[in-house]
Amino acid sequence: MSEKKDRSISLALQGGGAHGAFTWGVLDRLIDEPGLDIKAITATSAGAMNAVAFASGLATGGADGAKQTLERFWRVVSEKGAAFSAFSMSNTPLSLLPFGPFQAAMAFTSIASPYEFNPFDLNPLRDALDEAIDFDAVHHAPIDLFLSATNVETGRVKVFQDGEIGRDAVLASACLPQTFRAVEIDGSAYWDGGYMGNPSLFPLIYNKAPRDVLLVLLNPISRLGIPKRVPEIMDRLNEISFNASLIGELRSIAFVQKLLDDGMLKKSAAKEYRRLNIHALRGGQVLRELSMQTKYDTSWGFLTDLRDKGRDAAGSWLNTCGHYLGTGESSVDLRKEFLEA
């Protein structure tokens, strides 16, 4: 009889505003997969919100609880974020203008900060977390969480874990500085983790999480063609900026694994390095036709459509690449994608 494969995995969840509903669908499908055990999640921004919703529900009601809490969280996001959904205007002819309402609003944020145009510090995400997430349950969940934020003053990534994870840590991870005030925790100010870790992979190495790591990507890494219209240029700049830190980490992992594979490290040194088996669910390719402004669209129909796309994508990934889990092999060729010219 063949030995049963270890199908425990770590998840790495990118941020992406309302596009995070795609990741909701991914989680909703993965937890239904027999024998698949999600042991750790490293996440940023919308990914961090999905992570705490998943953990909160898992602690209180198992798999069904995780699914229910994810749906409840996104339902509350839809209700609380109605104003942002209207602001996106993603489903109107105005979104097709070369310089439409969304671009005008973005231009406004370049001359007025959230400290000026939002003096009462209104934040629908704070309200959604308060209403939908039980952080005491998060702390008792049978899963390790690592949530990334960017320290405003040092420019370094801060990874919140264990008892550090609370509402403010999640808000810090999702704090876009053009929209929200910096989140202050223990005397330090934080902005969105996407600038320095989208998401951070190194916690999975240092904390001995499962070696099989599934990246759930919401931003396309590559996109053919030169953007020429203002909205297209803004979209591509956003994608490049929020993929940069992840690409840097993947490149480092690929380099270390090349040294290991080529026997270029002494045995004593090789023992200090831990191999990760990298897999990728490329949601960014599925969502590539959606503009940046749709990341503000919290209408329920739009969110549930993204959820369904996420479920379908996760099912397809399990069918085509799920057999790699527990084999010690990556389904992504890191050397080809990140080391070769």
For 100-119, write each residue's pLDDT tens digit: 555 555 554 565 677 676 77
DSSP 3-state assignment of 206?
helix
Q: Which long-range contacts (CB under 8 A, 24 or more apart) does 128-132 make?
A: 128/73, 128/76, 128/77, 128/80, 128/81, 129/49, 129/52, 129/167, 129/170, 129/171, 130/167, 131/76, 131/80, 132/53, 132/69, 132/72, 132/73, 132/76
In angstroms, the CA 41 to CA 201 distance is 10
In angstroms, the CA 337 to CA 46 distance is 26
pLDDT tens-place string over residues 174-184? 999 888 999 99
Token pair, residue 257, equals: 């694994």
Give the mean model confidence (pLDDT) for residues 126-138. 96
Q: Is the Cβ–Cβ distance between 11 and 201 less than 8 Å?
A: no
In angstroms, the CA 337 to CA 258 distance is 13
- Whether the pLDDT of residue 2 is over 50: the answer is no
170 CB neighbour count, 10 Å cutoff? 28
Which pLDDT band, with edges at 50, 70 and 90, does 121 fall under? confident
- Whether the pLDDT of residue 245 is over 80: the answer is yes
pLDDT tens-place string over residues 252-303? 888 888 887 777 776 655 556 778 899 999 987 888 888 888 888 999 999 9
What whole-number percentage of the chain has pLDDT above 70? 85
Which pLDDT band, with edges at 50, 70 and 90, does 43 fall under? very high
Residue 51: C-alpha distances to residues 47, 48, 103, 231 (Å): 6, 5, 31, 30
- Whether the pLDDT of residue 220 is over 60: the answer is yes
In angstroms, the CA 39 to CA 41 distance is 7
Report the chain's mean pLDDT, rounded to a whole number.
87
- Whether the pLDDT of residue 228 is over 80: the answer is yes
Cα–Cα nearest to 158, from 142, 175, 179: 175
- Whether the pLDDT of residue 37 is over 50: the answer is yes
